[in-house]
Structure 1
Amino acid sequence: MTKKIVMQVESEYGEILQQTVAVIKQARVNVARQLNVGENAAYWEIGKMLHERKLDSKHGNSVVRRNMKNIMYDIVTPLKKCYGA
């Protein structure tokens, strides 16, 4: 009789574990989607701002190129070091 109870408890535990893992995985997917949405909005805003400034400026593409070099140095390079990329 105790074997039957233990088997039932183990079976229930396995089900609870599967549900828990599924919730965590779904939460990770949701976070990744929201991060992607926010990142895309930021890139869109930056592109819009640079485009408008380029039109108003007599410097043209040089401003965009310089900006991109600074972004690579100031933002991307530290991220690569942080994440080992």
Structure 2
Amino acid sequence: MEIKIFIRPTDPWSQKLKELLKKKKLSFLEFDLSESSESVVFRDEVLQNTGQIAVPVISIDNEWIVGFQEKKIEELLNKKSK
């Protein structure tokens, strides 16, 4: 299962998402969407796949969820782990 998260380090919802994944002992790739020149590529990926720029965003095997929607995230993780 490939998990990618797109966050801003200062965003509390981004931190909650990281805590949830760490609690579940899941490995994930983390992309910082802060205002830096290198984050433009990551922002473009989020925009292409979700139609918006927001944080946090999680991609689980290329299925995308915008925002910290814990129930949806849990459902998708359960579905993908079977």
Q: Name the TM tier (shorter chain).
A: under 0.3
Greater RCO, 1 or 2 (C-alpha within 8 Å, sep 6+):
2
TM-score (norm 2): 0.24
Which has more radius of gyration? 1
TM-score (norm 1): 0.24
